[in-house]
Structure 1
Amino acid sequence: MSSADSTEAPIYAGLVEEQGDVPAEVRRVAEEVLREAGRAIDFGTARTTAASR
């Protein structure tokens, strides 16, 4: 978080200090889950199979 953010939202800055940056952590975990799902499920072959029917 930049210093401009902490002066504009001191309550948020305090929460980040106490609890960590929860939105950033959620974003990181969501991106990781999407990558794992992309590796586990290959939708490309499903589209190809459905199109050939």
Structure 2
Amino acid sequence: MSSADSTDAPIYAGLVEEQGDVLAEVRRVAEEVLRDADRAIDFGGVRSSAAYR
């Protein structure tokens, strides 16, 4: 960690305390959306029907 990073940490920590950890929440929601999309879109049937042509 550089000295610039260590001086920014208290500001970031204060923002997280006030606003919540927005980056962590965005990451969590993005992972959830990817899991939901993976369950909703199943291309397995398309692949197996294409093999019979």
After TM superposition, the score normalised by the length of structure 1 is 0.69
The answer for the alignment partner of 1:25 in structure 2 is 25
State the Cα deviation string for residues 1-37 of structure 1 (Å, max 9, x = none). Answer: xxxxxxx211100000000000000000000000000
Which of 40-49 and 19-28 deviates more?
Answer: 40-49
When Rg is computed on C-alpha atoms for both structures, the one with the higher figure is 2
Deviation of 1:52 after TM superposition, in Å, equals 5.0
Misfit runs of 4+, over 2 Å: 43-53
The answer for the alignment partner of 2:45 in structure 1 is 45
Q: Which amino acid aligns with 2:43?
A: F
The answer for the alignment partner of 2:11 in structure 1 is 11
Greater RCO (CA < 8 Å, at least 6 residues apart):
1
Is the partner of 1:42 in helix, strand or coil?
coil
Q: Which amino acid aligns with 2:10?
A: P
After TM superposition, the score normalised by the length of structure 2 is 0.69
Query: Could you list the runs of 5+ residues in structure 2 that have no partner in the other structure?
Result: 1-5
| Aligned counterparts of 2:18 and 2:12: Cα–Cα separation in 1 | 10
